[in-house]
Amino acid sequence: MNKQHHTLIVIAGPTASGKTSVAIDVASHFNTEIISADSRQFYKEIPIGTAAPDTKELAKVKHHFVGHLSIFDDYNVSRFEKEVLTLLKQKFHQHSLMVMAGGSGMYIDAVCNGIDELPDPDEKIRIGLNQTLSEKGIEALQQQLKILDPSYYREVDLQNPKRLMRAIEVCLQTGKRYSDLRKNKPVFRNFNIIKIGLTLSRETLYSRINRRTDNMITNGWIDEARAVYQYKHLNSLNTVGYKELFSFISGEWPLETAIEKIKTNTRRYAKRQLTWFKRDKDIHWFQPDNIQNILRYIESKL
| Chain segment 18-44, per-residue pLDDT in tens | 999 999 999 999 999 999 999 999 999
Q: Which residue has the higher pLDDT, 106 or 63?
A: 63
pLDDT in the model for residue 2: 43
For residue 257, give the 3-state DSSP assignment: helix
Mean pLDDT of 261-277: 95
For residue 228, pLDDT beyond 90: yes
For 69-73, 120-124, 196-200, which range has the lowest pLDDT when averaged over its residues? 120-124
Amino acid symbol at 70: S
pLDDT in the model for residue 4: 54
Kindly give, in sequence order, each residue whose CB lies less than 8 Å from that of residue 110, ignoring residues fewer than 6 positions away.
Answer: 77, 78, 80, 81
Spacing of C-alpha 72 from chain mean position: 18
For residue 93, pLDDT beyond 80: yes
Alpha helices by DSSP H, listed for the chain, are: 19-29, 55-60, 77-91, 105-113, 123-136, 138-148, 150-155, 161-174, 178-181, 202-218, 221-228, 242-249, 255-278, 291-301
Average pLDDT, the chain: 93
For residue 66, pLDDT beyond 90: yes
pLDDT in the model for residue 124: 85
Mean pLDDT of 138-166: 92
What sign results for the dihedral spanned by CA atoms 81, 73, 100, 271?
negative
Mean pLDDT of 262-276: 95
Mean pLDDT of 169-188: 83
Mean pLDDT of 225-241: 93
Mean pLDDT of 37-63: 97
| Chain segment 109-141, per-residue pLDDT in tens | 999 998 877 777 778 888 899 999 999 999 999
pLDDT in the model for residue 186: 79
For 111-120, 195-204, 266-275, 289-298, which range has the lowest pLDDT when averaged over its residues? 111-120
pLDDT in the model for residue 18: 97
Contact (Cβ atoms closer than 8 angstroms) between residue 99 and residue 32:
yes
For residue 3, pLDDT beyond 60: no
pLDDT in the model for residue 42: 97
Contact (Cβ atoms closer than 8 angstroms) between residue 19 and residue 50:
no
Domains of the chain, earliest start first: 3-115+184-301 (3.40.50.300), 123-181 (1.10.20.140)
pLDDT in the model for residue 183: 62
Range among 8-12, 169-173, 230-234 rated most confident? 8-12
